Structure 1
Amino acid sequence: MHKDTMWSLNTTLFILFAVSGSYSSGVAMHELLEQYLNVTCQRERINVQLTFNRRKHPEMTKSIREMIWRGRMCIGDDKSGSCCSQLNMIQDYHIVLVGYSKCGIEKTFFAGGFNFIAKVYFWGIGNVNEQFEIQCAVPFVESHVK
């Protein structure tokens, strides 16, 4: 198999993720937030973003934008430090970028690599409290996680 083709196949596996969760604030709010949640599975770390950018999402209301902007997102139970979101006010999103061995991310094996499972929590104004479960599949060939 050609080297570039192999890299392309492996890269595709990096962005393979699943989101599920519990509905603390109601199904409608959970599904609404889910459409603004973006997960990128990389070789050594996970990147979770929650956008409040109305230019990219013109359907987003001002109140939803403000609720997300004033909110907080964390991976795992640790609600401080590197496991919680940093605000990017230029591009309008919350971001958490951490290695797979941090923040209580669970590692399991599948035939071709590692499966990482994490809980993502979001707290917003107006008693919004949502939990999402995200999964990343990383092939053995590309993983540097021990």
Structure 2
Amino acid sequence: MQGGTVKLLMIVCVVCALVGMGACSSKPKPRVFVPLALIDGGVKPQAITATEQGTQAYQAKQFEDAKKYFEQAVTVAPQSGQAHYNFALALNALGDTEAARQHFLEAANLAPGDKTIWDSPALSPYGNPNVPKVHKEHQYGTSRPGIGSGPR
């Protein structure tokens, strides 16, 4: 009985180790650009061209150029979630995380059924835009005295 328990325990340990190694070695998902398409004439050809140019610039690590092209696509197609998403990728690559956040959330709102946008690892740090953030007040309040602000 005890030998069987030790053997079972060893098997469980080996399985856990293998699963853990697989989780540690997994690479992050690449950020995928979303192509704009002529859907019912809703997106102008200029937006599609700008998106293609932006994608090429981004892949060449020319992030400023990519930002410029994707911004053109957003200007031409402001109701395109895909255009906002691509623009957000470029902004994020340049470190403008607050502007990127706004465009990621706009993309998700404009394209609620687009799995590429919603499942993107680029959007995940910003949470679900349909769930309002709740700010909890600390039970003792949030203000605290600064250094040297006590009674004199």
Q: TM-score, normalised by structure 1?
A: 0.31
Q: TM-score, normalised by structure 2?
A: 0.30
Larger Rg belongs to:
2
Q: Which structure's residues are more often strand, by fraction? A: 1
